[in-house]
């Protein structure tokens, strides 16, 4: 399975006007619910907050990837938000985060961790992440992901 296969237009928000880490997490959770991937946003929020307390999910290079095996997820899903001006997220490089991917995996599985590793590899190219941040809409964002995955021929660990 590719990252592109885990993404859908209705779970991506481009150019969000968000001002805090908490707002960003709420928006990512809202997108998971909107996409039909979760039924209890409050439970996901509690699990994500617990995960963030264990270790900040900011990856540096203006990226954060909060992930959790969620008790209310039937399957692994990814929601995405790009934030025009970035938000303070406690990143190790002290830069504002502009690109956030939330991975909610099926409870009892480590699939979300494999997806996160695959996503981190995909996002390791700063020029590519800049293109994602500059995407004008969901279709362009998805096209960029699809093109990058095809170009890399990255075998999926899933």
Residue 53: inside a domain, yes or no? yes
Domain encompassing residue 23: 3-152
Residue 158: inside a domain, yes or no? no
Residue 157: inside a domain, yes or no? no
Q: What is the pLDDT of residue 157?
A: 47
Using alpha carbons, select from 102, 138, 119, 118 the residue that is nearest to residue 15: 138
Residue 36: inside a domain, yes or no? yes
* pTM of the complete model: 0.92
Residue 142: inside a domain, yes or no? yes
Q: What is the pLDDT of residue 153?
A: 67
Using alpha carbons, select from 121, 129, 143, 141 the residue that is nearest to residue 12: 141
Low-confidence ranges of the chain (pLDDT < 70): 153-158
3-state class of 29 per DSSP?
helix
Q: What is the pLDDT of residue 60?
A: 84
Q: Decide if 2 contacts 147 (C-beta within 8 A).
A: no
| The two three-digit tokens of residue 37, written as one number | 């991937």
Q: Decide if 37 contacts 77 (C-beta within 8 A).
A: yes
Residue 56: inside a domain, yes or no? yes
3-state class of 76 per DSSP?
coil
- We report the CATH number of the domain holding residue 82 as 3.40.930.10
Q: How far apart are CA 109 and CA 68, in angstroms?
A: 10
The string of DSSP codes covering 107-153 is TT--HHHHHHHHHHHHTT-HHHHHHHHH-SSHHHHHHHHHHHHHHHT
Instruction: Count up the domains in the chain and report the number.
Output: 1
């Amino acid at each position: 399975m590719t990252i592109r296969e885990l993404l859908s237009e209705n779970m991506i928000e481009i150019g969000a006007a968000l001002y805090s880490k908490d707002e960003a997490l709420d928006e990512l959770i809202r997108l998971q619910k909107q996409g039909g991937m979760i039924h209890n946003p409050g439970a996901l929020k509690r699990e994500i907050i617990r995960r963030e307390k264990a270790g900040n999910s900011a990856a540096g290079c203006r990226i954060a990837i909060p992930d959790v095996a969620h008790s209310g997820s039937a399957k692994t899903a990814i929601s995405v938000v790009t934030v025009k001006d970035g938000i303070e997220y406690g990143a190790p490089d002290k830069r504002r985060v502009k690109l956030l991917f939330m991975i909610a995996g099926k409870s009892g599985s480590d699939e979300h961790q494999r997806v996160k590793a695959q996503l981190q590899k995909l996002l390791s190219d700063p020029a590519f992440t800049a293109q994602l941040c500059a995407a004008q809409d969901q279709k362009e964002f998805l096209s960029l992901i699809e093109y990058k995955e095809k170009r890399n021929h990255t075998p999926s660990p899933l």
